[in-house]
Structure 1
Amino acid sequence: MTEIIKAESLSFDTLLEETSFTVESGSTSIVVTGKEEVDACLVRLLLGFIRPASGRLFMFDTDISTFTDRELSAVRQRIGLIYASGGLVSNLKVWENVVLPLAYSNKFSREQIEQMGLAVLNRLGYSGKLMALPGHIPLFQKRLAGLARTMLMDPDLVIYESPLTGLNYNERNQFLRIAREFHLEKPGRTSLFLSSTPEIVPLLEDARVITFTQRQSS
């Protein structure tokens, strides 16, 4: 299988110390980090928002440090990211956040956007207020809205940041069930879960598990 992500001796400040791992195309992988701060750091590295202090990071078989701004933007369009916070734009209503990728694409009419947006929200069982600002809805509803937005993007790679944090038992099960179903809908789609909580491992039985070990100080 093709490696969609390859990290070679990657480090960043005190959070990552010469970390190496690979994620194969079409796989479901869990990176167990031990700290939520590491989850967030990896997200920024994978999207090219920050550069590693040392080491190399390959995305879609290319060293990310060689990407131009345009190429990096094109890569990000292939990636769906569900932030721990939901990642919703604070001054946009929930509905506007969900359909944002469709609105930017200029490929769909207003009626098509409405149909597609409502369909994905119904599928997720979203029961929150669509016209509320993100600050006024619970964390689980924010994360479902973020997942709905990602599903409308139809990405090749889906990254879940700290997916269990702040959710109860039923919410965790619902969220991961939908994530598994979404993974299987597109041949070759890759799902990467960045989690500081090892409890996620038995909940994703078929996933490859990558555990980070911090280098001991001498």
Structure 2
Amino acid sequence: MKKPVIEVRGLEMSYGSFVLMRDLNFTIGKGDIFIIMGGSGCGKSTLLKHLVGLKRPAKGDIIYDKVNYWKAEPEEQEQLKRRFGILFQSGALWSSMTLAENVAMPIEQYTKLPPKQIKELVSYKLSLVGLGGFEEFYPSEISGGMKKRAGLARAMALDPDLLFFDEPSAGLDPISARLLDDLIIELSESLGTTVVVVTHELASIFAIGNNSVFLDPDVKTMIASGDPKRLLKESPDPKVINFLTRGEGVRQK
């Protein structure tokens, strides 16, 4: 049994009086690659914002290693946030900064390491994602897949326990998307990092995910959780099967 890293209990997400999702209950274990999945408009990215402290829940609790994030003091919330690495859909790199400067920014902001050590650490992080030697390149000078990997290097800058990805494969060609999937698996296995991914890409879901939650906008709650490959074989819910088979409704044998 994996140690629980994130526990979501009775979570309700809303915008004003409009309830997006309610009664969300799931656990993310240490080392999981956890997929947040469901159709368009179900609240996947909104759930990610709740998990990383960008949006307060209407109801319910999000617990990190027994610390209730939304009931913690601001100082404790900040300490928790330093354990997070976040890769947004666009990569969110500063266009006026080189890749090295982008990756160095959180290290300079949150540590007191000397410049030489920061430079060495930045080169190491970029080499981890296959961008060794690209330190002085600007985002406009590299491909979309490389931008995603540079964004990942920055997300990893402070050696986070938890990595959060919002549609990491969006806008990538199939080969670049597969390379990014392989990189996520490699980082999870080699560093023991827990990864939470918002995606609707089936290839990625089955390639990297070993745990998941499925959000359904019709009933405004989760209708499945667990390993996506197991859900494809065993879920009794036709919505889950249709999603995982691109509407074909044919189970995996």
TM category (shorter chain) comes to 0.7 to 0.9
Counterpart of 2:201 in structure 1 is 197
CA deviations over 1:99-148 (Å, ceiling 9, x no partner)? 1122224443222222222233233233867353x467543233211111
Cα distance in 2 for residues equivalent to 1:135 and 1:16: 38
1:113 partner amino acid? I
User: Residue 84 of structure 1 aligns with which residue?
Assistant: 89
When the two chains are superposed, the root-mean-square deviation of aligned CA atoms in Å is 2.6
Give the equivalent residue in structure 1 for 2:38. 33
8 Å Cα contact 2:123/2:135 also seen in 1: no
Higher relative contact order (CA 8 A, sep 6+): 1
Q: Which residue of 2 aligns with 1:54?
A: 59
Q: Does 1:170 align with 2:175?
A: yes
**How do 1:118-129 residues align onto structure 2 when only pairs under 5 Å count?**
118-126=123-131
Match of 1:12 in 2: 13
SS of equivalent to 2:53? coil
2:3 counterpart of 1:2: yes
TM-score for the superposition, normalised by structure 1: 0.84
TM-score (norm 2): 0.74
Q: Corresponding residue for 2:212?
A: 209
One-letter amino acid of the counterpart of residue 215, structure 2: F
CA distance in 2, matches of 1:81, 1:118: 19
Tell me which residue corresponds to 1:94: 99
User: 2: distance between equivalents of 1:173 and 1:26?
Assistant: 20
What does 1:104-115 align with in structure 2 at a 5 Å threshold? 104-115=109-120
Q: Does 1:142 align with 2:161?
A: no
Secondary structure of 2:191's partner? coil
Report the equivalent of 2:248.
Answer: none
- The one-letter code matched in structure 2 to 1:214 is P
Based on CA coordinates, which of the two structures has the bigger radius of gyration? 2
**Residue 158 and residue 106 in structure 1: after superposition, are their counterparts in 2 closer, same or farther (change >3 A)?**
closer
CA drift of 1:19 comes to 2.0
Deviation by residue 1:135-162 (Cα, 9 ceiling, x = unmatched): 6754323321111112221111111111
Q: Distance in 1 between matches of 2:35 and 2:177?
A: 15
User: How far has the Cα of 1:196 moved from its partner?
Assistant: 2.8
Residue 157 of structure 1 aligns with which residue? Answer: 162
- Structure-2 change in CA distance of 1:141 and 1:36 (3 Å): farther
Cα separation, partners in 2 of 1:89 and 1:61, compared to 1, 3 Å: farther
Give 1:11's aligned amino acid.
E
Measure the CA separation in 2 of the matches of 1:136 and 1:54: 45
Task: Give structure 2 stretches of 5+ with no counterpart.
Answer: 221-253
Code of the residue aligned with 2:27 in structure 1: it is: T
Pair 1:73 & 2:74 matched: no
- Counterpart of 1:212 in structure 2: which amino acid? L
* More off after superposition, 134-143 vs 176-185: 134-143
Residues 64, 94 of structure 1: alpha-carbon distance in 2 compared, 3 angstrom cutoff: same
2:233 maps to what in 1?
A: none
How many Å apart are 1:70 and its aligned residue?
0.9
